[in-house]
């Protein structure tokens, strides 16, 4: 994995027309080719010879797979091998499965749907009938064909009924019938009878009070008692029928499930072949295309094309003649780290010559989150959510389901959650926090290996609050310094030597000097200008034998200020003015200098978010122990119940906030230091991974 995106070349490929399908198969498997769409033709599947049929069959197969959740019902052993070198042979197999199985399952699905609709209709009839029994109404009374008198039934919030009746009485001058019966929850079932001339006014009143009208199923007649009996019998028969239909479908799926889902996937791949065909150039004799290819993959790509076409292909690799802004970006990121690559790309795809920060993100993200969420128990729960996400990796989630959407976050961020949870557990041991319970609250809990941010004992002569704040700012300084270094290297690579030494280098010196001055002489800025003022730079965070390490001695505060703070500002001013003059105007350079100086202070303070979220975590954990409520020195049953409830609240609430704050520190503070813009174009291959089928090797 490299900080820079993969270096690219262009490749021109030409193969005899008879090898076109073999070529399309290869392109559907190869992740290292991004076809350059020279022709820019709109994709219209119906314009291809078998396009309409492939689309129709694909929709039919997909509908059956989704309706019967076939992906969850078959095992990996059911996955089949498909020889798709000959499309006519593939289509023949698909037609066979469609006639033998898909048609039957589609018919079963339609019958189940009709039965379920009838089931709901009868359940609705029973609900209405049970509520009508105390009223003495029959279903004929609810018929809409009454010429003078209407009766409607439905639900309304119980607390609104007195006010509603008052308004109803005022509208109808008392000419109405009103009956109510308690229903489930906060609603009551009501029946209202009124003269037809009041219909329009009463309708407005019903809408204003949130009345939910109960729709009476068609062809329901008779007394409520008889309707309940008749509908109950129908429900029993329908439930039996649905169970039998599902049993029939399970038998078919058990026998043909692997073929169904395998060929459903093949139909998606066939559509992909057509999309590839739309991008390449076909003549009567050959197929040709241009594509982007990573330099390090040239040999394997050439070998694959030659193998697929029996050495009949003409393959030519050349240096790109495009502008750099037209180069796509391909980053080589291991599978376990792709979630971090996704976080970077969510901000913006790196440009061809921009550093991909995913490598650094997978180091700093867990550390920052771990400090914010430092607790052994809570970190363990967070990691277990990630483990749950791993179990969803091979499952298809529905896009129209809210719960599946939530599961999608666990599935996509599984490794991020596991690593972050483990780091939170490590810091939990260092800080001595176990499900929010510390040694101070319960003696059986281990003491912190480092220090307790919530403790009252001094650590290295300083308050734990100061220590955790220093720790947060040191993490931030290291994080931002890496950004400065990357920006410096990038300027050197682009031969922008003045910018390299005049901006990121001076910026680094200025930033560290500001940090050192504050922690040596304090925030009283006037002492920085006193030539007689001197002192050692140290942090209580770093110590030997309980004494802070004195890193170096500053004999003259004014001289140190002038050389390490004033001089870098002067150099940056000159550099930015020259830079602004070269790219626009001098004022642009001055404006950039002011923004740079202000952002340095604000960005540094932003890393105090780590300290703040850690403090919030500690405070919430303490609140849910209920120690302030129960009093006493020991933990009781109520305290542990509070801890359990608190773990769930903290996991959901603070886990999300810590994630957002950590991500913000990467996107805003770090990206601004490295000069990351994220204006690149993603590398897009036409490869489709096979999940439910195996392909026959191409001409091996």
Q: Which residues contact 592 (CB under 8 A, 6 or more apart)?
A: 576, 579, 580
The first and second tokens of residue 489, run together, are 């290297």
Q: Average pLDDT for residues 133-141, to the nearest whole number?
A: 56
Spatial distance between the Cα atoms of 628 and 636, rounded to a whole number of angstroms: 13
Beta-ladder partners of 273? none
Per-residue confidence at 696, pLDDT binned at 50, 70, 90?
low
- Count the Cβ atoms, other than its own, within 10 Å of residue 628: 8
In the predicted structure, residue 134 carries a pLDDT above the cut 70 = no
Per-residue confidence at 699, pLDDT binned at 50, 70, 90?
very low
Count Cβ atoms within 10 A of the Cβ of residue 602 and give its class: 0-12 exposed, 13-18 middle, 19 or more buried.
exposed
- Going from N- to C-terminal start, the domains of the chain cover 8-106+243-329, 139-221, 332-454+651-682, 460-606
- pLDDT for the residue numbered 148: 52
The pTM of this model reads 0.77
Beta-ladder partners of 553? 536
- Most confident by average pLDDT, 78-87, 393-402, 505-514: 505-514
Q: What is the pLDDT of residues 428-455, one digit of tens each?
A: 999 999 998 888 777 888 999 999 998 7
- pLDDT for the residue numbered 138: 57
Residue 177 dihedral angles phi and psi, to the nearest 5°? -120, 130
- pLDDT for the residue numbered 78: 60
Beta-ladder partners of 547? 544
Q: Average pLDDT for residues 224-243, to the nearest whole number?
A: 86
Residue scoring higher pLDDT (481 or 130): 481
DSSP state of 78: G
**How many angstroms from the chain centroid is the CA of residue 225?**
52
Beta-ladder partners of 256? none
Per-residue confidence at 147, pLDDT binned at 50, 70, 90?
low
- pLDDT for the residue numbered 584: 64
- Most confident by average pLDDT, 223-237, 361-375, 617-631: 361-375
Per-residue confidence at 698, pLDDT binned at 50, 70, 90?
very low
Q: What is the pLDDT of residues 238-297, one digit of tens each?
A: 999 999 999 999 999 988 998 999 999 999 999 999 999 999 999 989 999 999 999 999
In the predicted structure, residue 580 carries a pLDDT above the cut 80 = no
224-230 long-range contacts (CB < 8 A, ≥24 apart) are 224/128, 224/129, 224/130, 224/132, 224/133, 224/137, 224/138, 224/139, 225/129, 225/133, 227/125, 227/126, 227/129, 227/139, 228/126, 228/129, 228/130, 228/133
The first and second tokens of residue 137, run together, are 């109404």
Tell me which of 131-135, 159-163, 464-468 is least confident: 131-135
In the predicted structure, residue 87 carries a pLDDT above the cut 70 = yes
**Residue 613 CA: distances (Å) to CA of 173, 453, 601, 663:** 62, 12, 20, 13
Q: Average pLDDT for residues 348-353, to the nearest whole number?
A: 90
Spatial distance between the Cα atoms of 202 and 187, rounded to a whole number of angstroms: 19
The first and second tokens of residue 611, run together, are 């300290």
In the predicted structure, residue 418 carries a pLDDT above the cut 90 = yes
The first and second tokens of residue 571, run together, are 């150099």
124-129 long-range contacts (CB < 8 A, ≥24 apart) are 124/214, 124/215, 124/217, 125/216, 125/217, 125/220, 125/227, 125/231, 126/227, 126/228, 126/231, 126/232, 126/235, 127/214, 128/153, 128/214, 128/216, 128/224, 129/224, 129/225, 129/227, 129/228, 129/231
- Count the Cβ atoms, other than its own, within 10 Å of residue 198: 17
Per-residue confidence at 306, pLDDT binned at 50, 70, 90?
very high
The first and second tokens of residue 515, run together, are 């940090």
Per-residue confidence at 76, pLDDT binned at 50, 70, 90?
low
- pLDDT for the residue numbered 95: 93
In the predicted structure, residue 139 carries a pLDDT above the cut 90 = no
- pLDDT for the residue numbered 295: 95
Residue scoring higher pLDDT (404 or 248): 248
**Residue 449 CA: distances (Å) to CA of 139, 382, 389, 427, 470:** 75, 22, 31, 9, 18
In the predicted structure, residue 140 carries a pLDDT above the cut 90 = no
Tell me which of 102-106, 233-237, 336-340 is least confident: 336-340
Q: Average pLDDT for residues 20-41, to the nearest whole number?
A: 92
Of 538, 511, 676, residue with least CA distance to 604: 511
Q: What is the pLDDT of residues 373-389, one digit of tens each?
A: 999 999 999 999 999 99
Spatial distance between the Cα atoms of 211 and 202, rounded to a whole number of angstroms: 11
Beta-ladder partners of 178? 192
From first CA to last CA, the distance across the chain in angstroms is: 31
What is the C-alpha R_g of the chain?
Answer: 35
Q: Which helix (H) or strand (E) segment is 404 a member of?
A: helix 402-412
H-type alpha helices, 584-698: 586-606, 608-624, 627-630, 637-649, 655-664, 671-674
Per-residue confidence at 402, pLDDT binned at 50, 70, 90?
confident
Identify whether the C-beta of residue 627 lies closer than 8 Å to the C-beta of residue 441.
yes
Matching residue, tokens 């330099």: 295
CA angle 149-150-156, nearest 5°?
145
Average pLDDT over all residues of the chain? 87
Residue scoring higher pLDDT (142 or 461): 461
In the predicted structure, residue 471 carries a pLDDT above the cut 70 = yes
Q: What is the pLDDT of residues 474-528, one digit of tens each?
A: 999 999 999 999 999 988 988 889 889 999 999 999 999 999 999 999 888 888 8
526-529 long-range contacts (CB < 8 A, ≥24 apart) are 527/557, 528/557, 528/558, 528/561, 529/557, 529/558, 529/561
- pLDDT for the residue numbered 645: 92
Domain 139-221 architecture? 2-Layer Sandwich (3.30)
Q: Which helix (H) or strand (E) segment is 421 a member of?
A: helix 414-431
Identify whether the C-beta of residue 504 lies closer than 8 Å to the C-beta of residue 484.
yes
Of 389, 399, 394, 412, residue with least CA distance to 335: 412
Q: Average pLDDT for residues 196-214, to the nearest whole number?
A: 85
- Most confident by average pLDDT, 144-153, 475-484, 631-640: 475-484
185: left (phi over 0), alpha (psi -120 to 50) or beta: left
SS3 294: strand
- pLDDT for the residue numbered 544: 84
Per-residue confidence at 578, pLDDT binned at 50, 70, 90?
confident
The first and second tokens of residue 154, run together, are 């439905």
In the predicted structure, residue 75 carries a pLDDT above the cut 70 = no
Buried b (16+ CB within 10 A) or exposed e, 373-391: bbbbbbbbbbbebbeebee
In the predicted structure, residue 142 carries a pLDDT above the cut 80 = no
**Residue 93 CA: distances (Å) to CA of 24, 49, 89, 213, 266:** 20, 18, 6, 51, 11
- pLDDT for the residue numbered 13: 96
């Amino acid at each position: 994995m490299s900080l820079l995106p993969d270096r690219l070349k262009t490749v021109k490929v030409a193969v005899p027309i008879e090898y076109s399908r073999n070529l399309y198969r290869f392109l559907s498997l190869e992740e290292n080719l991004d076809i350059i769409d020279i022709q820019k033709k709109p994709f219209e599947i119906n314009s291809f010879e078998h396009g309409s049929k492939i689309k129709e069959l694909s929709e039919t197969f997909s509908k059956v797979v989704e309706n019967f959740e076939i992906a969850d019902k078959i095992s990996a052993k059911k996955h089949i091998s498909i020889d798709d070198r000959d499309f006519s042979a593939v289509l023949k197999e698909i037609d066979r499965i469609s006639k033998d199985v898909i048609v039957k399952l589609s018919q079963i699905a339609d019958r189940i749907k009709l039965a379920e609709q009838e089931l709901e209709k009868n359940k609705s009839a029973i609900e209405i009938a049970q509520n009508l029994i105390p009223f003495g109404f029959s279903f004929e009374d609810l018929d809409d064909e009454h010429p003078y008198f209407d009766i409607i039934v439905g639900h309304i919030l119980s607390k609104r009924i007195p006010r509603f009746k008052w308004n109803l009485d005022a509208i109808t001058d008392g000419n109405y019938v009103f009956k109510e019966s308690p229903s489930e929850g906060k609603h009551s079932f009501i029946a209202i009878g009124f003269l037809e001339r009041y219909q329009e006014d009463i309708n407005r009143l019903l809408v204003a009070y949130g009345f939910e009208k109960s729709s009476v199923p068609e062809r329901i007649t008779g007394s409520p008692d008889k309707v309940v009996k008749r509908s109950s019998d129908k429900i029993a028969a329908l439930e039996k029928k649905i169970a039998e239909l599902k049993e029939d479908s399970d038998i078919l799926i058990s026998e043909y499930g692997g073929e169904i889902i395998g060929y459903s996937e093949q139909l998606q791949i066939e559509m992909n072949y057509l999309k590839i065909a739309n991008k390449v150039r076909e003549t009567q004799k050959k197929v040709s295309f241009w594509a982007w290819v990573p330099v390090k993959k040239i040999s394997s790509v050439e070998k694959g094309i030659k193998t697929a076409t029996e050495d009949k292909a003409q393959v030519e690799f050349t240096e790109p003649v495009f502008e750099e802004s037209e180069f796509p970006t391909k980053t080589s990121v291991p599978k376990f780290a792709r979630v971090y690559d996704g976080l970077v790309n969510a901000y913006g795809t790196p440009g061809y010559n921009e550093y991909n920060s995913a490598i650094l993100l997978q180091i700093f993200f867990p550390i920052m989150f771990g400090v914010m969420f430092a607790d052994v128990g809570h970190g363990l729960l967070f990691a277990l959510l990630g483990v749950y996400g791993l179990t969803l990796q091979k499952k298809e989630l529905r896009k129209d389901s809210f719960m599946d959407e939530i599961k999608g976050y666990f599935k996509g961020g599984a490794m991020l959650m596991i690593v972050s949870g483990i780091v939170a557990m490590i810091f939990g041991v260092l800080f001595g926090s176990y499900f929010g319970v510390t040694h101070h609250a319960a003696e059986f809990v281990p003491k912190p290996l480092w220090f307790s941010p919530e403790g009252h004992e001094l650590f290295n002569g300083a308050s734990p609050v100061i220590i955790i704040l220093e720790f947060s700012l040191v993490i931030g300084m290291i994080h931002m310094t890496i950004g400065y270094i990357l920006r410096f290297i990038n300027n050197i690579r682009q031969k922008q030597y003045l910018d390299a030494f005049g901006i990121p280098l001076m910026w680094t010196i200025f930033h560290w000097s500001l940090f050192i001055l504050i922690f040596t002489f304090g925030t009283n800025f006037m002492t920085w200008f006193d030539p007689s003022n001197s002192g050692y730079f140290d942090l209580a965070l770093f110590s030997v034998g309980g004494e802070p390490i004195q890193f170096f001695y500053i004999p003259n505060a004014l001289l140190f200020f002038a050389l390490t703070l004033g001089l870098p500002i002067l150099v940056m001013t000159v550099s930015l003015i020259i830079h602004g003059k070269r790219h626009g105007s001098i004022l642009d350079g001055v404006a950039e200098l002011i923004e740079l100086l202000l952002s340095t202070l604000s960005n540094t303070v932003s890393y105090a978010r780590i300290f703040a979220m850690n403090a919030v975590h500690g405070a919430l954990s303490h609140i849910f122990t209920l120690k302030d409520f129960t009093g006493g020195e020991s933990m009781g049953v109520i305290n542990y119940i509070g801890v359990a409830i608190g773990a769930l609240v903290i996991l959901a609430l603070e886990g999300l906030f810590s994630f957002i704050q950590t991500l913000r520190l990467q996107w805003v503070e770090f990206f601004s230091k490295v000069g990351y813009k994220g204006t690149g174009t993603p590398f897009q291959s036409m490869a489709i991974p096979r999940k439910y089928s195996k392909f026959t090797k191409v001409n091996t």
